[in-house]
Structure 1
């Protein structure tokens, strides 16, 4: 039983108690009125004696009905055989008592209120008609012309009772249906809330996993762009120091290797702390790129030129860090693979986007044949894509390489 059905059950129990104990009080009231009118109605001794067994039978009938549970209503439209027998016998007893004294029609009026409960909707109207006959007979006082008029009146009353009873039953059924619909809606809502809670937990787990994965990718890219580049430069400088016959030149290469080691260590610490590159700590992007290109040129012993075009505007820190890392990676790849004799780096402010181009005249490579572009090129693309940008690569064997990164400024200014 749902919570919404409990008021209906309480209402049925209350009606059952009224119909079980009410007839005793109404019968007592009818008896009191009848006895007070014995003289006025000129009741005979035989009629008075006849009241005793009829009332006794009525009391026994009510007691049996109560103990048999005939007043336990459930709001249904069907009745049991025992309830039908009870209603018929009570109606007969009411007619007999009304014949002995018309004021026992007070007792007969019970038939108007429980006909549908005791007989069901199908036979309830017949029960109402029988009650109407008893009431009219008692009130007509033996005048048959008056009986006809009173019968018409009571039939009208019976139909009115029937109409109100039917309406009350329909309202009751509608109320039960509404409550059941609300309970079903609440149950569906609870299921939806439970599903949403489960989905929320799942999304939290997925977000946590995605965050861990993204952090791993970030650290991998930072390590590749900082420590790996620094180690590459250190190896290059130490190799040059080993190959150099001049002690002063060798010491210069060793000093450069030491500086690169310190720089790489500092960048590693900044990467772990998720800080901006050290080159951007005191300079804006154009100045940081110029210093990066100059340092790379001295380290790689390759002439490199840096150019800025357009109107220089302040940039979001993430855009500056992204473009600087892409430039560092592109220059590292040039030093390792291109064997270039000349490098050009251009930073272009284009109004709604900013572009970084790194070109060299090295040996180049076949993009169609070399499908494995490596972590460096993939990392550059991943960095740009995080800002809704792109990285394009143009290269042919013997004709150098051009890397162009473009990042929109609409969402990051």
Structure 2
């Protein structure tokens, strides 16, 4: 990230404010990108060290169990150890996905969205519908992460506030821009919520979208709330996309 230019002392106040806003937006974009990179690295370490070690322990326990006398007490103890290891493996995997959804990196945005919605449905028991482009498109990593973070924030808010029974997730790409829409049939969102409990998550998403040349909106619908993130499919975000 390059150092911001210092405006001349006679610069009009409105131009100073605009320059300051641009500087802060660039700084926030840099911070969120660094934060994402750190999360990605930590998730990879969890996979390569703890995950691999626990998988190896499971294999060793299986081999050891085959050599033990077939006594019920020993069989019960090894069964408990297997269950404990499986629980640790599952928890480790959930932590990895919470930090960084590797499906985004290896299988693409469609797979990452599908997995996130499937997990949300299993955890909360809501009816979920997903509409995705027929063909998977490659997006710059910064765009893919922003779209996935928008989905995660939308689903968190639905679980916490919406009292919804149905959720629709729509990804639309017309070649010029890509739009992610998260819609629920809950109680809706009002200005007090936007200004209070969830302001930091939504504001961070809004600034991330602006950094990438896009926009984020959260608004009440006739039944529920609609969260929409739109990003340009070209290089309108300037150096942000080329740095991904």
Instruction: Give the TM-score taking structure 1 as reference length.
Output: 0.36
Confirm whether residue 262 of structure 1 aligns to residue 92 of structure 2. yes
Query: Offset at 1:311?
Result: 5.8
Confirm whether residue 291 of structure 1 aligns to residue 115 of structure 2. yes
Question: Following the alignment from structure 2 to structure 1, what is the Cα–Cα distance between the partners of residues 226 and 28?
Answer: 33
Higher fraction of helix? 1
Quote the residue 2:158 is aligned against. 334
Quote the residue 1:394 is aligned against. 219
Confirm whether residue 404 of structure 1 aligns to residue 228 of structure 2. yes
Query: Offset at 1:376?
Result: 1.7
Instruction: Give the TM-score taking structure 2 as reference length.
Output: 0.58
What aligned pairs does 1:184-333 form with structure 2 within 5 A after superposition?
Answer: 214-215=30-31, 219=35, 261-266=91-96, 277-309=101-133, 312-333=136-157
Q: Determine if contact 1:367/1:395 at 8 Å carries over to the other structure.
A: no
What aligned pairs does 1:13-412 form with structure 2 within 5 A after superposition?
Answer: 214-215=30-31, 219=35, 261-266=91-96, 277-309=101-133, 312-367=136-191, 370-372=194-196, 373-395=198-220, 399-411=223-235, 412=241
Q: Determine if contact 2:178/2:231 at 8 Å carries over to the other structure.
A: yes
Question: Following the alignment from structure 2 to structure 1, what is the Cα–Cα distance between the partners of residues 173 and 29?
Answer: 33
Query: Offset at 1:339?
Result: 1.4
Higher fraction of strand? 2
Unpaired runs of 5+ in structure 1?
Answer: 1-198, 200-206, 228-253
Query: Offset at 1:368?
Result: 6.2
Q: Determine if contact 1:345/1:359 at 8 Å carries over to the other structure.
A: yes
Query: Offset at 1:328?
Result: 1.1
Q: Determine if contact 2:171/2:181 at 8 Å carries over to the other structure.
A: yes
Query: Offset at 1:297?
Result: 0.7
CA RMSD of aligned residues (A): 3.8
Structure 1 residues 256, 384: CA separation in 2 closer, same or farther (over 3 Å shift)? farther
Larger Rg: 1
Question: Following the alignment from structure 1 to structure 2, what is the Cα–Cα distance between the partners of residues 360 and 257?
Answer: 32
Structure 1 residues 282, 395: CA separation in 2 closer, same or farther (over 3 Å shift)? same
Unpaired runs of 5+ in structure 2?
Answer: 1-5, 7-22, 44-83, 236-240
Query: Offset at 1:295?
Result: 1.3
